[in-house]
Structure 1
Amino acid sequence: MTATSPATPAGDAVASRVRELLERDGWTQRRFAAAIGLDETKLSKSLAGRRRFAADELVAIADVTGETVNRLLHGRDDARIHTAVPGGAAAHRDAPAAPRGARETRRRILDAAWCLITDHGYHRVRTADVARACGTSPATIHYHFPTRSELLDEALRHNVKLAFDRQVAALGEVPDPHARLLRLIDLQLPSSELLRREWSIWIQVWAESAIDPARRELYWDSYDRWYRSVLMTLQDGADTGVFVAGRTEPLARQLTAMIDGLGIQVMARTPGAARDQMRAVLHDFIDRAVLADPGNTHRTETE
């Protein structure tokens, strides 16, 4: 999806949904453009249907409004797409029926807590630290998140939503399963600050889940969304003859385990482990074990 693409009926529907969100929450175009980091003129053209929202813009809109990119694009959170929809304890929760100010306060608290936990570690972050970071009081933090444990749980749900929104926005126009699988991997590499912070939350949740049974259901449901996204991509490839048939589930287990292990090595700054090496190892595995015709590894723009 590019910002210069002409408007389409689907694009008009997206523009209409975004306009409704601005009206619902009382945004002016200028303030909303600033909130999502978009030039006001570009926002105006997109809202009028003369310009399509880019993938990163849709992710920013979803983050600011509390909606999902899936709802922005397709009108519902659980629309069938190229990536798995969160379920169970990890499912997206509709924005609370509260004034915009209250929702913005909650979002500001969560953003601050998420950053502090990723940078300093869950056990080193105090409620007072979160209050100071977002310019509010500890009482306000406790109102929205009664316990510190709930902050970590919401940080994980925030991770799931970020990944889901990013994948929905980026994979919707990638019909080839091989190109889509490579793109899916690229979207998970701990390369940018945002992705490194997501990985930090995952690593901390893994550690907490190993010793705290109460946290495991949320972890299982959160990880299941990622596993199902890989699984459905592999199944699409097997159905079209691009990937080997009959081994979809074991390949999904192997591939997700490799991504986890390599990602932890990159995050721990293990000597010899880096994003490019991680990417190369995963691509090599796909070439040798996943493609139905390993000798015909057509390269894509994602490489």
Structure 2
Amino acid sequence: MEKNTATRILDVAQEMVRSRGYSAFSYADISKEVGIRKASIHYHFPSKDELVKALVKRYRERIVRACELIAQSDNSLNEQMMQFVALYQNGLDSNQICLCAMLAADFAVLPQAVQDEIRAFFQDAEAWLTTLLQNGDDAGLWVCRPSAQQEAKALIAMLQGAQLLARSSEDQTYTFEQVVYPILNAKFSSP
């Protein structure tokens, strides 16, 4: 079954933003990739700002669902942590980083509605990760200092930074793993 046009537009836009950034794509780029006229894109998304807002909202909802599935699994807390980390590592194979990290670089020039969606993304990720970390701390698996929330903020910052550093290296996966896994193993392996 062929995806509907709006979904195809969002898919192409997401790939472009995650690999190029906000300012480095246009409706003409999307039009060429999807094989439709620019007017067709405007029909679905009257402005680039509306397109990016819809894109961030969809991305945030997908990550929230992925985190919910991780939390509902029978996997150990350590395995759940690794699954969360994999959400950040997976895009590197296609030279893509977290959509919201990419857009955060252009945060000041984005419209308020897009900024709000980006903030919501980071709040959702932080809240989910805080719960995971607190569960591990409560179970005696990890020690979260000064708090699970601070650890969550630091971990998200590390993952986003590792993506950026990896993106500039010849072996992105290797670089990401060299940054992330020694820290994870030191902080979150069972005592």
The TM tier, using the shorter chain, reads 0.7 to 0.9
Higher CA-based Rg: 1
Q: TM-score scaled by structure 1? A: 0.54
Q: CA deviation at 1:108?
A: 1.3
Find the residue that maps to 2:106 and give its secondary structure: helix
Alignment of 1:1-303 (within 5 A): 31=1, 104-190=4-90, 192-193=92-93, 196-199=95-98, 201-212=99-110, 214=112, 215-244=114-143, 247-269=147-169, 274-287=175-188, 294=191
Provide closer, same or farther for how the CA distance between residues 255 and 126 of structure 1 changes in structure 2, counting only shifts above 3 A.
Answer: closer
Find the residue that maps to 2:8 and give its secondary structure: helix
Q: TM-score scaled by structure 2? A: 0.80
| 2:126/2:149 contact within 8 Å kept | no
Q: CA deviation at 1:211?
A: 4.0
| 1:190/1:263 contact within 8 Å kept | no
Distance 2:117 2:147 in 1: 28
* 2:32 aligned partner, one-letter code: R
Over the aligned positions, Cα root-mean-square deviation in angstroms equals 2.8
Percent of pairs identical after alignment? 20
| 1:262/1:278 contact within 8 Å kept | yes
Distance 1:220 1:267 in 2: 23
Name structure 1 gaps, 5 residues minimum: 1-30, 36-63, 65-103, 295-303
Bigger relative contact order, structure 1 or 2, given CA contacts below 8 A and separation 6+? 2
* 2:182 aligned partner, one-letter code: V
Displaced runs of 4+ in structure 1, greater than 4 A? 270-273
| 2:107/2:115 contact within 8 Å kept | yes
| 2:88/2:160 contact within 8 Å kept | no
Provide closer, same or farther for how the CA distance between residues 164 and 210 of structure 1 changes in structure 2, counting only shifts above 3 A.
Answer: same
Q: CA deviation at 1:223?
A: 0.9
Structure 1 or 2: more helix by fraction: 2
| 2:67/2:84 contact within 8 Å kept | yes
Name structure 2 gaps, 5 residues minimum: none
Aligned residues: 188
Q: CA deviation at 1:188?
A: 1.9
Distance 1:253 1:181 in 2: 14
